[in-house]
Structure formats: structure tokens, C-alpha cells
Amino acid sequence: MIGYATLGTNDLDRALVFYDGLATAMGGKRLLTMPDVRGFTLYGAGRDKPMLAVTRPYDGGTASAGNGTMVALMADSRAQVDAIYHKAIELGGSDEGAPGLRGGVGDQAFYGAYFRDPDGNKFCAYRTGEE
């Protein structure tokens, strides 16, 4: 149902380094960069799958992270949750909650890690169910 989510940046060069590395940790890659002043760039595992876009704001104003806004990144395993989180921190992201089990057990288990990108956008890398 979701085609892509868009996040704004004030430093496109820094954002592209961050998302190039993060996409690789998730098995994705940079799929498209528009040759305009905004630098609209799409990341994902394929154009037929949900994607993440990073861009300078269309209105030319300052990008800011939304309060209460978060993008959740589905991982294939708990080990991949750990890898995504650690890659984000290595790339200049900030910790918002280290990897760990939150919630129940069995199919109700939620293993997640929270971080922010260098522009302050919040993410959760997660895996549900038993490993």
C-alpha cells in the first residue's frame, strides 16, 4: 500500500552518505536521484517495493523532523535490526533506544531499535515474532 515515505534534509550531501550506508545495511540501494536543486532521491530494494525518499523541501524552507513522526523499517531478522541500528549510529545518527525485545513473546514479540538520522528524523528498525 505504501509507495514511499519522504524525509526532508538541510544537508543533502550528508543525508546521501547516511542513506547510502543505511540502505546497504537493509539490502537496498539508491534507486533514483532527480537532477534538480532539491536532489529528490529514492532508496529501496526495488521500485515495485516500498521506498524511502530524502530531499530538500519543495518550498525551499528549512527541513524539520516531525514531533511524533517516525518511519519503521522492517528487518528480516533480529540480527539485521542490530546491524541497521549500529550502521545508523556509525553514519552519524543518534540513539533513541538500543536494540532489544519490547512486548510479549511468540508471535507477539517485538524486537526493535530506535535512532534518528542527522536531520533528526526518527526511525525504528524492527522484527516481529520469534527469531
Q: Which residues of the chain have pLDDT under 70?
A: 1
pTM (two decimals): 0.88
Residue 119 in contact with residue 10, Cβ under 8 Å? yes
Query: Is 110 domain-assigned?
Result: yes
Task: Write out pLDDT tens, residues 25-58.
Answer: 999 999 999 999 999 999 999 999 999 999 999 9
Please give the angle made by the CA atoms of 78, 116 and 63, to the nearest 5 degrees: 145
Query: Is 63 domain-assigned?
Result: no
Query: Is 64 domain-assigned?
Result: no
Query: Is 25 domain-assigned?
Result: yes
Query: Is 33 domain-assigned?
Result: yes
Question: Domain tally for the chain?
Answer: 1
Measured CA to CA, the distance from residue 23 to residue 42 in angstroms comes to 10
Residue 74's CATH number: 3.10.180.10
Query: Is 86 domain-assigned?
Result: yes
Q: Which domain holds residue 108?
A: 4-58+69-128
